Structure 1
Amino acid sequence: MTVKALLFDFDGTLLNTNELIIQTFMHVLEERFPGQYSPKDCLKFIGPSLKQTFSDITPGEEDEMIANYRTWNMLHHDELVTEYPDVVSTLEQLKSMGIKLAIVSTKRNEMIDRGLSILGATHLFEIRIGSNDVKNVKPDPEPVLLALERLGLTKEEAIMIGDNSHDIEAAHNAGVRAAGVAWSIRGAQYLQQFNPEYLLQGMSDLFDIVKEG
């Protein structure tokens, strides 16, 4: 089946937000649990939604913790995010080839838009699915299925690309092929245990995948 669309996670896949996320978690957790968390501890919080994470860490205090997280995160967002190599140029070439591009993220829509603006890539995406659009975030299949519905495509015509287990699991739960990115902060070996159909060493690997179908 011909690949007609690529569905991308955002954080850690298209935009390097790892340092921003880790520093934000360290800020809010240091206030609440002084000296109990290290930056390495925060790696496991990359991927799940804030609600899932804070429900585990501070049950009953999720709303307050999420508010603190978002306040610090928004304040430092632009200074701490960085670009991955060849992301925008690859996306531009894929779009010129007629491939539909979409964002499927657990991030809030306004922050996806902010990140896309920093990348200069807003115009490249047909749609973006954020946490505002769904009841159930990844690894639930709902965001992936909603993206397909809005694109008017079948499961066989799309590939979901991400840096986290939630991305691969959401794709497979929706019956869609998945690609992990080797530049994931957790590493390629971590992703391989979730059996993605593809593992990208660089963004340009997508050209061969699209051509092969």
Structure 2
Amino acid sequence: MEKKITTLLFDLDGTLINTNELIIASFLHTLNHYYPNQYTREDVYEFIGPSLLETFSGLDLERAEEMIEHYREHNHLHHDLLVEEYEGVYETIRELKERNYKVGIVTTKMRKAVQRGLLKGRLDSFFDVVVTLDDVKNPKPDPEPIELALKLIGSSAEETIMVGDNSHDILAGKNAGTKTAGVAWALKGRDYLEQYGPDYMLENMRDLLKIVES
């Protein structure tokens, strides 16, 4: 018999808050600085999901840290102007807490940026645990961040769903042994996510309320 779901872990960018335009703008700003007129908007989609170190190291190992700083400077400057809420997210997370579910965040962002995003999305008071890139050696899709979140929150993988908009989220959940849910509003699209075999596909975050009670 399957364990009842008690715990939900969420990616942040593209899942709980709409940072797509901010991320795309920050990548284009950085890439056009180092590689003028070589990258289009669509070209940067593949960079969304992995850590910045992974992405920029793949482009230029020697200048990766410099490129990360260039990206973050633009990202921080334009954060509040470009970040938006997703319909249904705030209400769903609030209701999950009211129903006494454990909720956490597992992200490849640094903690300072995560806290700013949570404030912008009005979500800063809800989460029992927030695991960021600062807390682990191996980011998603490695299971380490999810395993750390479960240890801190006091839950098992069998009673947990990992929710995200990227392959790294789905694969990390599978590697850690949790259930997984993809979000249909992912920038890369439903078809992209479905090829990684999530257990659930959410049309709206509110769909989670039915899933956890089933």
Query: Normalising TM by the smaller chain, what interval?
Result: over 0.9
Q: Does 1:90 align with 2:92?
A: yes
Q: CA deviation at 1:121?
A: 1.1
* 1:1-213 matches, cutoff 5 A: 1-212=3-214
Task: For 1:175 and 1:195, locate their aligned partners in 2 and report how far apart those are by CA, in whole Å.
Answer: 13
Task: For 2:131 and 2:150, locate their aligned partners in 1 and report how far apart those are by CA, in whole Å.
Answer: 10
Structure 1, unmatched stretches of 5+, are none
Task: For 2:40 and 2:59, locate their aligned partners in 1 and report how far apart those are by CA, in whole Å.
Answer: 14
Q: CA deviation at 1:7?
A: 0.1
Task: For 2:12 and 2:194, locate their aligned partners in 1 and report how far apart those are by CA, in whole Å.
Answer: 19
Q: CA deviation at 1:57?
A: 1.1
- Tell me the amino acid that sits aligned with residue 99 of structure 2: M
- Tell me the amino acid that sits aligned with residue 110 of structure 2: R
After the TM superposition, which segments of 4 or more aligned residues of structure 1 sit over 6 Å from their partners? none
Task: For 1:119 and 1:83, locate their aligned partners in 2 and report how far apart those are by CA, in whole Å.
Answer: 6
Please report the RMSD computed on the Cα atoms of aligned residues, expressed in angstroms: 0.6
1:64-112 C-alpha deviation (Å, 9 max, x unpaired): 0001111111011110111100110111111111111100000001111
- Tell me the amino acid that sits aligned with residue 146 of structure 1: L
- Tell me the amino acid that sits aligned with residue 130 of structure 2: R
Task: Tell me the percent identity.
Answer: 49
Q: CA deviation at 1:60?
A: 1.3
- Tell me the amino acid that sits aligned with residue 91 of structure 1: I
The secondary structure found in structure 1 opposite 2:208 is helix
